[in-house]
Amino acid sequence: MRALPVLDAPKANRADPRSVRLSLTDRCDLACVYCRPDKRDGYFEETLDLAAFTALLRGLHAGGVRRVRITGGEPLLSPLVVDAVRAIRDVGFEDVALTTNATRLSRLAEPLLEAGLQRLNVSLDTLDETRFERITRGGKLATVLAGIEAMVALPFAEKKLNVVVVRGENDDELESLTRFAWARGITPRFLEVMAIGEGANLSHKVVSYAEQRARLAHLLEDDRPERDLDRGPARYVRARKAFGPQRVGFITGTTDTYCDGCDRLRVAADGTLRPCLAKNEGVSAADEAARGDVEAVRRRLTEAWEMKPDGETFRGCTEPSAREVSIRKIGG
């Protein structure tokens, strides 16, 4: 039996800020077990209006950011989501993407495409209705599947399926989810549970990249995983020739981290610039954005970026602050 190809070694140094994950809202209509403790935790009292949001975008662009992914919470809950996509396009960013749970995608997919959305990721952890309801604490699988079909019917430049693999919950569905995605021209990506927020309580349920890869070995070539140029932390492996020009992505936030070379910053829905997903710290640019002060926003970006830690923040992360991080509040 051939040895499992190793992951790419992380790059030696931290990059400059090129990419942001921008949260439009910290609200979500699901409460996934690895993300939220329950449906009763609080929300931000204030989020940015469209004018402030646009000023924020201009400041980020002036600071060198070129790629924006809209996140949440659930971004499709925001009444600004279509206008936000249009604003990102109009400011001149190279790449406009969005991640959603797809509960509202069936009616918003076309307006988002028309506004300029290029790439779309849908989060789906199971194809079993009962499991879906348990993992999401009450969600309805049918609404998500309808959203996925709406995405498939439209010419987005890239369509992906994000799956958080949780031992004992959905780790027996890797093949079925892969085949489901491939049949629709979607690239599946499997994520390890990360040791932050609610995930810090689920370390015993992590399914490692090595185990995930082994379970899909009959579908995949024995290639070394490769990253897309300038496209985030996922590493991709080609499907065997019998399955055509497909591939599978793996995101290893726990067993083999991707911190070195990170060019990403997160913007929370309240305008806080957060340099690291694993750190409960950041710099607010809300007042500067509300004033329309683009240069001040750019300076805030520089300040936040200087706070970014070096090295592998996730590996063996045991800091108490990691448990306090809310993925929902800082943009996933």
pTM, two decimals, is 0.89
Strand partners of residue 187: 160
- CA 44 vs. chain centroid, Å, equals 20
Calculate mean pLDDT across residues 263-272: 93
What pLDDT sits at residue 95? 97
- Taking alpha carbons only, the member of 57, 59, 68, 78 closest to residue 21 is 68
What is the maximum span of the chain, computed from C-alpha positions, in angstroms? Answer: 62
Nearest to 239 by CA among 184, 185, 182: 182
The answer to whether 257 and 11 have CB atoms below 8 angstroms apart is no
pLDDT at residue 44, rounded to an integer: 64
Q: Which of residues 50 and 255 earns the better pLDDT score?
A: 50
In sequence order, the β-bridge partners of residue 97 are 69, 119
Distance CA 23, CA 49 (A): 13
Residues 150-206 have pLDDT tens digits of: 999 999 999 999 999 999 999 999 999 999 999 999 999 999 998 776 666 778 899
Q: What percent of the chain has pLDDT over 90?
A: 70
Measure CA 2 to chain center.
32
pLDDT greater than 70 at residue 230: no
Which CATH number describes the domain made up of 19-330? 3.20.20.70
For 209-277, where are the E strands, in sequence order? 226-227, 235-238, 247-251, 264-267, 272-274
Check residue 120 and give its pLDDT: 98
Average the pLDDT over 27-47 and give the result: 76
Task: Work out the average pLDDT over 139-148.
Answer: 99
pLDDT tens by residue, 88-125 = 999 999 999 999 999 999 999 999 999 999 999 999 99
Average of per-residue pLDDT across 19-32: 95
pLDDT at residue 217 greater than cutoff 50: yes
Residue type at 263?
A: D
In angstroms, the Cα distances linking 329 to 48, 191, 290 are 14, 19, 20
Distance between CA atoms of 233 and 223, rounded to whole angstroms?
17
What residue segments make up the domains of the chain, in order of their start?
19-330
Range ranked top by mean pLDDT from 128-142, 248-262, 303-317 = 128-142
- What the block records as the tokens of 98 is 């969005």
- The pLDDT of residue 171: 98
Neighbours of 231 (CB within 10 A): 15
Who has greater pLDDT, 42 or 95?
A: 95
The whole-number pLDDT of residue 276 equals 86
Cβ burial 52-84 (10 Å sphere, 16+ → b, else e): bbbbbbbbbbebebbbbbbbbbbbbbbebbbeb
